[in-house]
Amino acid sequence: TCGHALGGRWWSHFESWLYARRAAATRKGKKSSSIANADADPVTPDPELARHDPDLHRKLTASGMSEYDAKGVGMALQRATAAALAQIRRESASAASLDKKKVKLAEFAVGGGGGGGDVEDDTAPQHKKVKLTCGKVSVEVNSAHLQRLRVAFERFAPVVHRHRDDAFRRAAFACLARYSSQQGAHYKAGGMQASLPAPMFDALREHFGVAMELCASPLNARYRRFCSGHVDVDECFGSFGDCLKFEPDAGSFEVNPPFDPTFMAAVCGHMERLLANASGAMSFAVIVPRRPEDASWSKLTNSRYAVKRIDFEAGAHAYVPGGQHVRSARATPSAAATTLVLLQNEAGRGRWPATREAVDALRAGFASGLKKSLDDEDEDVDDDGAYLDGSGESDVTDDDGFGGVKGRGDGGGRVNGGAVVGSRWDFDDVRRLFWGAGSAGRWGK
């Protein structure tokens, strides 16, 4: 409907539009996009809400489109969304249950062999990908991330399914298909699911006791338990479900929500209520874009529980892309400024103070992606499938770091990017060429 007006990165605008229209359902009192509501589709927005998105309208008119044509785009999106929902209903009514379908698995090498020069061992997990196929639909995932899903499935899935390969394949396919769909199904999408570099998580855990993310997915979660937006496909991998329904009474958490103002405002209100009712020390490290013009940003930074605000300038910090499970997990410099706000109750301030040392560690952790190429070649895998960093310690522990929550499991795997500092570009390494030839400024001449 409007990709031609938005330029080559239309897929990024499409992903933002999907998130914004789903979030608007809650604000407007429409059918919630939460999968807890059986009448709402977890991916496709309500057609009535699809008709007008203020941010998309602004982008279209800024590109030179007339007001009349921009409104026509909204009407076209409304029709397309209604048609998609109708198709979903038809196919859901006639299709066999996924439980009765077989999901085929095929592993293949990425960029291996026949490239000339000294090519590294093809058996390295990060250089293998897997295709999962159900009917006519296929999804791909890096072998390392699929192994991480398997480890989590064997811990959190129903006992009768934990060691059934067919059950795992169906669960993995459903999870991958869901996240691909909610991002717009473009292979470059995933900006709304970007995560922090591993050293940033390490700093948050060391200085603020963070042991859980409130806005993550089975594909990018740092810790074994997390909250996510799709509990129907995520629960068997360790998710507690919607963060807005998560009710801890103590603990320290990282919150890196999708950068949609409506959702960010809802999360801020939820955190303030939890802090007001907490029975013990509670802390939230909230990472959002620095947008002083947004009401959600002002609400967060001016919260009565805000004890520290740290601003990170554009280009001075990096995120790991949301598509890390299908592409490289290399951190990418942020093109926009970011704000970290520390929300704490009185007990939290005493237990996890925002000292100068802690703030410096956070700045160094967020900037680590600028200096390091997340190269999985240096990773090791322990016998349990958890990925270890160079220290030999897994970044998942038995201590979830929060209280007041029942049903905690006992483990999970995590791909933790090992780093190669200052490595030169190797034109004989076919894999490096496949995973993306960065600029000379990034890789060296």
How much is the mean pLDDT over the chain? 79
Is pLDDT of 398 > 50?
Answer: no
Name the residue with higher pLDDT: 335 or 156: 156
pLDDT band, residue 321 (cuts 50/70/90):
confident
pLDDT score for 27: 60
3-state secondary structure (DSSP) of residue 175: helix
Beta strands in 325-427 (DSSP E): 332-333, 338-344, 372-374, 380-381, 387-388, 402-403, 419-421
More confident residue, 65 or 258: 65
Element (H, E) at 387: strand 387-388
Q: CA 53, 265, 267 angle in degrees (round to 5)?
A: 120
259 and 294 in contact (C-beta within 8 Å)?
Answer: no
Whether 374 contacts 328, CB under 8 Å: yes
Residue 287 vs residue 187, higher pLDDT: 287
Query: In angstroms, how far is CA 165 from the centroid of its own chain?
Result: 25
By three-state DSSP, how is residue 424 classified? coil
Alpha helices in 278-325 (DSSP H): 295-301
What is the share, in percent, of the chain residues with pLDDT greater than 90?
53
What token pair was written down for 323?
A: 């598509």
> For residues 319 and 369, is the Cβ–Cβ distance under 8 A?
yes
Alpha-carbon span 207 to 205, nearest angstrom: 6
Question: Does the structure show a pLDDT above 90 at 81?
Answer: yes
Mean pLDDT for 268-275 is 96
Q: Using an 8 Å Cβ cutoff, are 303 and 356 in contact?
A: no
Report long-range pairs for 37-42 (Cβ below 8 Å, ≥24 apart). Answer: 41/85, 41/88, 42/178, 42/182, 42/229, 42/230, 42/232
> At what angle are helices 261-277 and 10-27 packed, to 10 degrees?
50
pLDDT for res 325: 85
Element (H, E) at 253: strand 250-255
252 contacts 210 by C-beta, under 8 angstroms? yes
Say whether 441 sits in a helix, a strand or coil: helix
Mean pLDDT for 304-327 is 90
pLDDT tens track for 335-356: 889 999 999 999 999 999 999 9
> Whole-angstrom Cα distance, residue 445 to residue 440?
5
Q: Which amino acid is at 23?
A: A
- Say if CB 6 and CB 13 are below 8 A apart: yes
pLDDT of residue 429: 39
Nearest to 323 by CA among 332, 312, 333, 314: 332
Q: What is the mean pLDDT of residues 27-46?
A: 60
Position 143, amino acid: S
Residue holding tokens 């706000």? 341
pLDDT at 408: 34
Amino acid 338: pLDDT: 94
Cα distance between residue 351 and residue 225, in whole Å: 22
User: 286 forms bridges with which residues in the sheet?
Assistant: 255, 341
Question: Structure pTM?
Answer: 0.75
What is the tens place of the pLDDT at every residue in 358-373?
999 999 999 987 765 4
Q: d(Cα 232, Cα 71) in Å, to the nearest integer?
A: 35
C-alpha 108/C-alpha 130 separation (Å) is: 6
Tens digits of residue pLDDT in 91-137? 887 666 656 779 999 999 876 544 344 444 444 444 789 999 998 89
Sheet of 137-142, strands arranged across: 104-109, 128-134, 137-142
pLDDT band for position 170 (50/70/90)? very high
β-bridge mates for residue 311, sequence order: 339
Q: Which amino acid type is present at position 201?
A: F
Question: Is the pLDDT score of 252 beyond 90?
Answer: yes
